[in-house]
Structure 1
């Protein structure tokens, strides 16, 4: 269990932050960029939960908890015994939720605009932030960081889930469709 008696430690005043293994990295480090983008995704999902219908809110609550697992995974370089890692079952749960939501949605006939209900719009925002987290993860890996395949898969699947949940939040009013060249 995590216990925080003090929020500030002053250890990051030099522009560094601590990782789970005790090492320190620059706050501008590629690994820390991913951790920050995942945290931002989590905050955006929290915003979406405010107006989410119960079924969507429950899925988002599970995701928010997973994102703390993901943050711990990303903040643990190397092979640390007992480290908290994202596992394949968490990815499989996202896939099952994507499939269940997709089954009740009408087929897409066009790209959709990131708009609609307040919940759908917030979910689209969370989706775009999640896509940035995925880009940051790929960049960190390209820079030599040892991020797990399962962690990257989770982020990729999460953006898909956020997309279908946004569509589900708009199901009563319908998707807001892109009309190519509509304003020429």
Structure 2
């Protein structure tokens, strides 16, 4: 259980922060950049949810919870030693990736194939989902960068890769099942 009764601690006043295992690192470390951008992604999902209804809102709520799981995973280095711990840390699971894939497939079944690239926009929800997509792509790049220098749960990278795809397909659904997509017209303004 998490108890937050005091928000500021002054512990980061010198440019460091504590990771989930208690170790301290610079606030600009690759690990903090990765999970910080996952947090940014979550904030953009909160904005999208202001425009979502029904199953789309339910799915976005599940994604927000997954993103907290992902942040908890990324803020805790040292996967191998943790598996033996009495209370192992929360790690993202392949089943969460599988759920995203199933949802992408279900949404994609109602869409016509694309014949052009889609410009971010259309409905308010679609525009917000495109913002979610681009921020999640940045989180993915930073997590992949982190995985080049430190051990990272492979499911974390897979999840972020599928997540940006989920946001793209969901943006098309939010645009009247793709009928109101704003399509790129190459060289239209020459």
The count of aligned residue pairs is: 183
- Paired residue secondary structure (1:126): helix
C-alpha contact 1:128 1:159 (8 A) present in aligned 2: yes
Aligned to 2:162: 157
What value does the CA root-mean-square deviation take over the aligned residues? 0.9
Distance 1:61 1:98 in 2: 16
After TM superposition, the structure 1 = structure 2 runs for residues 56-71 of structure 1, keeping only pairs within 5 Å, are 56-71=56-71
After TM superposition, the structure 1 = structure 2 runs for residues 35-184 of structure 1, keeping only pairs within 5 Å, are 35-79=35-79, 80=82, 81=85, 82-142=88-148, 144-171=149-176, 173-184=179-190
Once the two structures are TM-superposed, the CA of residue 33 in structure 1 deviates from its matched residue by: 0.3
CA, structure 1 residues 112+157, in 2 after alignment: closer, same or farther (shift >3 Å)?
same
TM-score by length of 1: 0.97
Structure 1 unaligned residues grouped into runs of 5+: none
Structure 2 unaligned residues grouped into runs of 5+: none
Distance 1:157 1:126 in 2: 12
Measured against aligned partners, the alpha-carbon deviations of 1:22-45 in whole angstroms (never above 9, x if no partner) come to 101100000000011100000000
Q: Which runs of structure 1 show a deviation greater than 6 angstroms over 4 or more consecutive aligned residues?
A: none
TM-score by length of 2: 0.94
- Paired residue secondary structure (2:118): coil
